[in-house]
Amino acid sequence: MEWHSTAVGATGERYEGPPLEDPLRFDATISRHMVHRASLAEVFPTGMTRIQEARFLIAAQWPRRHFFYTGTERSPDSALMAETLRQAVILLAHGCGVPLDHKFLMPRMSLQVVPALLDPLRPAEVILETTADAATVRSGNLAELDVTARFRLTDGTVLGEGGAAARMLDAATYRRFRAARMQHESLYRTPRRLDPAAVGHQDPRNVVLGVGRGAGVWPLVVDTAHPAFFDHPLDHVPGMLLLEAVRQAVRLGTGRPGLDVTAFTADFGRIVELWHDPELELTLLSDTEAVAVISHAGQQLAKVRAGWA
């Protein structure tokens, strides 16, 4: 496969991505279109360079403070790492020629966080050492991609590693794929949110779990106006919201609102629709591990195994 840095939009316009032979830069974010974001403030990658045929370095900058990604000085926020990985996979795919109008599905994601001291006086400059472990090409276009990534600071400090799988669909195929699934009467009714302090947040808008329906079972709060999860309009519940729901459930299950997961393996087997009435059930396996299942009407949609220190 030929790896290059040009993406082509639906109308034939061409976006020339950061040249793959240039040094990594941290002085400006890449185009928001390359990571499917609407707000510049939600774009974390700042550059990309190729070091081997299927190996790339992706630079990213993390803000010192963020309205949602809080984290601590001593460890990066796992949700921020997961979102950075998601954006890196999309950037890499577009850098390999996937047109900008293509839709992405990510059926799997995993992450392991290494505790590290972050400088509280400046934004963190992060490098993702990524490898395209597997790629599927159909009709001359990249259709599937498996990516692994190692996170480190520019001084060499390792922050963790992760991986994600992506499927890319052209606009027409995606419309056909989604048409039948979106023609349903909505069953969703916004539940009453839990107390933000109980799930490690201050802003009630960041709470994604409602008042419990039983021991270890909570409805999901899906706020389509949330500026991080719904940075732009979506026709489904994003995986990042599901991962945050798991983290908040772990905080409730352990009674530790300041806890952050340090590892997870997520299987997004089915799309969580906006018309669903989704709920999360958490099972604690030990003092440091749990399994969460997200379902609708008894049908499993996603499963996440999470661990923490």
pLDDT (average), residues 74-92: 94
Any residues with CB less than 8 A from the CB of 116 and at least 6 apart, and which? 74, 75, 76, 153, 157, 158, 159
Residue 139 has pLDDT above 90, yes or no: no
Amino acid letter at 52? Q
| Structural Rg of the chain based on CA atoms | 19
- List the beta bridge partners of residue 170: none
- Report how many helices (DSSP H) and strands (DSSP E) the chain contains, helices first: 3, 13
**What type of residue is 303?**
K
Summarize pLDDT for 85-121 with one digit per residue, the tens.
999 999 999 998 899 999 999 999 999 999 998 988 8
Is the Cβ–Cβ distance between 152 and 127 less than 8 Å?
yes
Average pLDDT, the chain: 90
Whole-angstrom distance, CA of residue 4 vs CA of residue 20: 8
The model's pTM: 0.92
pLDDT band at residue 72, thresholds of 50, 70 and 90?
Answer: low
Same fold, 6-171 and 183-307: yes
Bridge-based pairing state of the strands 141-153 and 124-138: antiparallel
Q: Tell me what the mean pLDDT of segment 57-81 comes to.
A: 88
What CATH topology corresponds to 6-171? Thiol Ester Dehydrase; Chain A (3.10.129)
Q: How many CB atoms lie within 10 A of CB 117?
A: 11
Q: What angle (nearest 5°) sits at the alpha carbon of residue 172, between those of residues 12 and 100?
A: 40
Does domain 183-307 fall into CATH 3.10.129.10?
A: yes
Where does the chain show beta strands of DSSP type E?
6-8, 14-16, 45-52, 55-62, 103-113, 124-138, 141-153, 158-169, 217-219, 263-267, 279-286, 289-296, 299-307
Confidence of residue 7 (pLDDT cuts 50, 70, 90): very low
Task: Identify the pLDDT of residue 107.
Answer: 97
Taking a C-beta distance cutoff of 8 angstroms, is the pair 21, 112 a contact?
Answer: no
How far apart, in whole angstroms, are the C-alpha atoms of residue 89 and residue 39? Answer: 18
Q: Look at residues 36, 42, 114 and name the one whose alpha carbon lies nearest to residue 78.
A: 114
DSSP state of 23: P
Domain locations in the chain? Answer: 6-171, 183-307
Per the structure block, which two tokens stand in for 48? 């990309």
Banded pLDDT at 16 (limits 50, 70, 90): very low
CB proximity list for 183: less than 8 A, separation 6 or greater: none
